[in-house]
Amino acid sequence: DADVTQTPRNRITKTGKRIMLECSQTKGHDRMYWYRQDPGLGLQLIYYSFDVKDINKGEISDGYSVSRQAQAKFSLSLESAIPNQTALYFCATSDPSGSTDTQYFGPGTRLTVL
């Protein structure tokens, strides 16, 4: 969905390096999420933010940190990357003002940690 963009789309890095994945959205949604996808494991929630001042840990937050710079921007950082953080990372947004809270996903960032 072009309304949710992620940069970079692919990244190869080495163990111990600091990495930042960025997410931007033009949907005007307050809620933003970071997920990790591994083959056969589905989508696991890393962090979520209900507004700029509200950031919460998800089920697998260890080794990750986030920053909500503005309503439209939500960044995920790996302070010291390790090989088992190799995965596909998705950002998503949602607007709970409707009757349901549909999440809109970005195209993903494929991260490889060597």
- Residues forming contacts to other proteins in the complex (CB under 8 A) are 1, 4, 31, 40-45, 48, 58, 90, 92, 94, 96, 100-108
* Smallest separation (angstroms) from other proteins to the CB of 67: 20
Question: In which residue are the tokens 């990372």 written?
Answer: 89
**For other proteins, the closer CB: 48 or 74:** 48
Question: In which residue are the tokens 């940690």 written?
Answer: 113
Element (H, E) at 38: strand 31-38
**For other proteins, the closer CB: 63 or 108:** 108
Which residues fall within 8 angstroms of residue 96, CB to CB, at 6 or more apart? 30, 31
**For other proteins, the closer CB: 54 or 79:** 54
